[in-house]
């Protein structure tokens, strides 16, 4: 593990512990917290300002806590966490705990994010659940799709674009894209994998996402011949 990866892991653990304590109703003393995590108070303040900015925090005399609104703090935080992890937070201008609380308790439907209707079968619901489970646990899958059997595929991300879901992943050094509608069955294997940072970042880029409906044609056009392949690279 590189130094940058270790630093990222420490940050993730620190933020997770801070959030869990705030949700539990604790009032955190910044100086004590800094000593506990072996960081400076300045670093902690940057964590709160840049990485926990969606939380409605109250600061007083070197301490901070979640501002009490009389609503369900856990429900609001769950909604915020879901919005950020699903890439929906930017859709709502200024999304924070207060706005999430209003949306959760509002009667009717004050905001509407319209998507083209999709037909969802029980089979596709099970496939979707198993893929999310495999992605979060970094487990390889056996995937059966139209005309394909992918044994040991590493699933990276499910992406919704233009009314359709796509599974992005890697198999034998190649980037893979499968429309969810073409996947018939998924078996989660006991084999784990380590996601490649470069590939994971690629699947969040606008150009890549816009090309998802055309990926099979792009891959066919760009596929190298046997003499051009380099087993050390990730290929389209």
Residue 71: pLDDT over 70: no
Sign of CA dihedral 104, 109, 112, 118: positive
Query: What residues does each domain of the chain span?
Result: 7-105, 122-228
**Region 137-149: what's the mean pLDDT?**
92
Confidence (pLDDT) at 56:
74
Q: What contacts 24+ positions apart, CB below 8 Å, involve 51-59?
A: 51/11, 51/15, 52/15, 52/18, 52/19, 53/96, 54/80, 54/84, 54/89, 54/95, 54/96, 54/97, 55/19, 55/22, 55/80, 55/96, 55/97, 56/96, 56/97, 56/98, 57/22
What's the CATH fold of domain 7-105? Arc Repressor Mutant, subunit A (1.10.10)
The 3-class secondary structure across 78-92, one letter per residue, is HHHHHHHHCCCHHHC
pLDDT in tens, 153-201: 999 999 988 888 999 999 998 899 999 989 999 999 999 999 998 998 9
Class of domain 122-228 (CATH, top level): mainly beta
């Amino acid at each position: 593990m590189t130094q940058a990866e270790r630093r990222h892991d420490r940050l993730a653990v620190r933020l997770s512990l801070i959030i869990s304590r705030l949700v539990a109703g604790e009032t955190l003393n910044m100086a004590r917290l800094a000593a506990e995590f072996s960081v400076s108070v300045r670093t902690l303040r940057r964590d709160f300002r840049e990485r926990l900015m969606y939380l409605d925090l109250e600061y007083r005399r070197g301490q901070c806590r979640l501002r009490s609104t009389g609503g369900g703090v856990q429900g609001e935080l769950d909604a915020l966490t879901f919005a950020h992890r699903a890439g929906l937070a930017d859709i709502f201008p200024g999304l924070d705990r207060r706005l999430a609380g209003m949306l959760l308790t509002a009667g009717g439907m004050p905001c509407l994010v319209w998507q083209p209707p999709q037909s969802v079968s029980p089979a596709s619901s099970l496939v979707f659940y198993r893929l999310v489970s495999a992605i979060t646990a970094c487990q390889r899958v056996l995937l059966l799709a139209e005309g394909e059997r992918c044994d040991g595929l590493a699933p990276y991300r499910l992406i919704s674009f233009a009314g359709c879901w796509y599974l992005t992943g890697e198999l034998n050094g190649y980037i893979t894209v499968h429309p969810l509608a073409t996947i018939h069955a998924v078996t989660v294997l006991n084999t784990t994998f380590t996601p490649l940072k470069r590939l994971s970042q690629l699947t969040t880029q606008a150009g890549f996402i816009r090309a998802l409906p055309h990926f099979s044609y792009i891959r066919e056009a760009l596929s190298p011949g046997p003499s051009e392949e380099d087993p050390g690279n990730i290929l389209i």
